[in-house]
Structure 1
Amino acid sequence: MIVRARAPLRLGLAGGGTDVSPYCDQYGGFVMNAAIDRFAYATVDEAPGGAAEFVSLDNDVRCCWSPEGLDKAPPSLRLLVGVYARICMQFLDGRHPPIRIRTYSDAPPGSGLGSSSTLVVALVAALCEFFALPLGEYEIAHLAYSIEREDLALAGGKQDQYAAAFGGVNFMEFHAGDRVIVNPLRIKDWVLAELEASLVLYFTGVSRESARIIDEQVRNAASGAHDSVSAMHQLKFEAVQMKEALLKGDLDAFARTLQKGWEAKKRMASSVSNPVIDAVEAVAVTHGARATKVSGAGGGGFMMFVCDPTDRVRLSRALQHQGGQVMDFHFNPQGAVAWRAGR
């Protein structure tokens, strides 16, 4: 039997960072995000040998299961081994079936599109299908979050797992006690079409380590650093403003909110922006960009720009000369999906 799964990557539109503890536990967090048609993929079948096998096709790395588990896995395979170990412990009474897990992604780790968490969601969905585990979207997202944050001790928030599990455009609420509410938005087709035509997604070529940036943000929130906490309050408020702008089809308000959110995000941690990002933003503004934002924790990865659709070509050409790559995309209404493939 062969099982495949895919989960969509996402654009963080507003409120990113307010889904990270301790801020969301103390104040509650609001996030706006949208899934796109770029994915993380997982394939599960029977291992050709007698032990479970893990393969990262992106990195051309493989290893087999060992009793030491996570501690002995290569860094590029820790997510795969971590998901397998948790599924075996929680649902298979500690048995370790000889299966092969292979993964790849449309975006590199550190891209700012939630690629690592999306890969974990795709893995969980694939193993749920393979072992016939009856988990819904909330359960898959929470399990993925628990594996990353607890089992693997990776810093980060909660929005990526829920965006990957649910898909679509969502307003998400994050509260104390791991309580999460996903509110899918019914946005008119013409608004989504205009938004797609107005957004330019650009990969800087600089992959950043989100954990380091998030650690700084967590320290600022825990210590009550006034400027950082005030910025998070502003981001939370702007998630509500963006929700209203999209529901009403007010793309001018969307652009203003995106830019205000970027300015507030830069106050959350010193490493959110850097000279490379600042230089790209300056070029974009002179070629028609009305708003800028870095997707994810910041520091690099993907940047997105809002422009008039008639400025899209000249903006894209100017960005290509900055050494990165413009990536086309469409919004994706579907969340994580798994299926059984014929031989």
Structure 2
Amino acid sequence: MSSDFAARRCPQVRARAPLRLGLAGGGTDVSPYAELHGGAVMNATIDRYIYASLGLTEDGRVEVESHDLGRHQRLPCGEALPIDGTLDLHKAIYNRVTRDFLGGRAVSMRISTFSEAPAGSGLGSSSTLVVAVLQAMTELFGLPLGEYDLAQLAYRIEREDLRLAGGRQDQYAAAFGGFNFMEFHGRDNVIVNPLRIKREVISELEAQTILCFTGVSRESATIIAEQSRNVEQGASRSIQAMHALKDSAVAMKQALLKGDLAEVSRTLDAGWSSKRDMASGISNPQIEDALQAARGAGATAGKVSGAGGGGFIMFLAPLERRRAVMAALNERGYRTETVRYTAEGATAWRR
């Protein structure tokens, strides 16, 4: 289907992509560790989404909008949109798609997004936004992008076009959805292994999972930069911590496939201990306060999701202790939530 024909038939589309929880191995998907040693990550998508809405217009402008951030910009569509600090993800996606797939043709359109999690939450929101908009672009213009293509293009827009620090797991989690064991071998060699976890295991994991929001992380870029620098400089403590994290991803995969939730909890806890050693700033007094409060109320494990420094902490607690754990965290001013794990990746539909 030609892009012009697809656009005429469908003047407006929506898409959504799921956010994810990193269960084990997060950080080993970041350069240069992934290239030098190979990384491994175990993650799962949850029932929190980023939505994108695209519509063709006839006013010769490109309108970009983030409903949750309350930001909006309208620009002429004759040239590449300026990367100037305002909704740069939206504009970089438009620039890349029109350049690589539409022959540089100016397209007058509106790009709107809405996120169910704040930026800096540690749930992969920035990468998920890029995947959601690209999925909508794929539907609108009939682009030849499968899951791997979608994730790789999202990665290049963030890491190459915008020079944003980060890893590789988030784009693939958003594109594929579900429980995935991911292997990172070199720059572009990523293998996503979807796992067939028994429904009763997922149900029990949902019964035990608590999310605690400590506040938006302001440290993730600094943490990632230090982590990368530690690998480049051969810092043995950081590199050994990443080796241990990679091993924990394999252990987490095996525990989930076997339905051994006690081992899942032990692996999650061990992974957090290793993650602390990758770089300074991953933990802080606020995070430690939340971890201590939850453990005191009966949580069996806890780890920060994402680079660290803030965002969401994932806790595991027996169902019988869930209310007590959430109450203990709420009393300290933290926001707690429960989740469902999802199997579907990025999807688009016509309005």
TM-score by length of 2: 0.95
| Displacement of 1:68 | 5.9
Identical positions, percent = 56
- Whether 2:156 is the aligned partner of 1:146: answer yes
Partner of 2:8: none
SS of 1:8's equivalent in the other structure is strand
SS of 2:218's equivalent in the other structure is coil
Partner of 1:325: 335
Partner of 1:71: 83
- Whether 2:126 is the aligned partner of 1:116: answer yes
Partner of 2:198: 188
Partner of 2:215: 205
CA contact (8 A) 1:63 1:73 kept: no
- Whether 2:27 is the aligned partner of 1:20: answer no
- Whether 2:279 is the aligned partner of 1:273: answer no
Deviation string, structure 1 residues 238-263 (Cα, Å, up to 9, x no partner): 00001010100111111110000000
Deviation string, structure 1 residues 215-274 (Cα, Å, up to 9, x no partner): 010001111100000000000000000101010011111111000000000000011000
TM-score by length of 1: 0.97
- Whether 2:71 is the aligned partner of 1:54: answer no
| Displacement of 1:323 | 1.4
CA contact (8 A) 2:17 2:345 kept: yes
In 1, distance between residues paired with 2:82 and 2:240? 38
In 2, distance between residues paired with 1:119 and 1:160? 10
SS of 1:237's equivalent in the other structure is helix
CA contact (8 A) 1:208 1:298 kept: no
SS of 2:14's equivalent in the other structure is strand
In 2, distance between residues paired with 1:318 and 1:16? 27
Partner of 1:39: 49
Deviation string, structure 1 residues 76-101 (Cα, Å, up to 9, x no partner): x1000010000011011111200100
SS of 1:5's equivalent in the other structure is strand
Q: Amino acid of the residue matched to residue 217 of structure 2? A: S
Partner of 1:107: 117
Uncovered stretches (5+) of structure 2, i.e. residues with no partner: 1-10
Give 1:129-278 correspondences, 5 Å limit. Answer: 129-278=139-288
CA contact (8 A) 1:205 1:323 kept: no
- Whether 2:292 is the aligned partner of 1:282: answer yes
| Displacement of 1:205 | 2.1
In 2, distance between residues paired with 1:324 and 1:50? 46
Q: Amino acid of the residue matched to residue 304 of structure 1? A: M
SS of 1:81's equivalent in the other structure is helix
CA contact (8 A) 2:27 2:242 kept: yes
Partner of 2:6: none
- Whether 2:319 is the aligned partner of 1:309: answer yes
CA gap of 1:299–1:72, structure 2 versus 1, over 3 A, is closer
| Displacement of 1:123 | 0.6
In 2, distance between residues paired with 1:188 and 1:49? 52
SS of 2:309's equivalent in the other structure is coil
| Displacement of 1:208 | 3.0
Superposition RMSD on alpha carbons, in Å?
A: 1.1
Q: Amino acid of the residue matched to residue 187 of structure 2? A: G
Q: Amino acid of the residue matched to residue 221 of structure 1? A: V
In 2, distance between residues paired with 1:48 and 1:314? 56
In 1, distance between residues paired with 2:258 and 2:198? 9
SS of 1:111's equivalent in the other structure is coil
In 2, distance between residues paired with 1:109 and 1:205? 10
In 1, distance between residues paired with 2:287 and 2:20? 20
In 2, distance between residues paired with 1:17 and 1:195? 23
Farther-moved stretch of structure 1 (154-163 vs 322-331): 322-331
In 1, distance between residues paired with 2:217 and 2:274? 22
Deviation string, structure 1 residues 134-174 (Cα, Å, up to 9, x no partner): 21000000000000000000000000000000000000000
CA gap of 1:73–1:35, structure 2 versus 1, over 3 A, is same
| Displacement of 1:65 | 3.0
Partner of 1:299: 309
After superposing on structure 2, the runs of 4+ consecutive aligned residues of structure 1 that deviate more than 4 Å are none
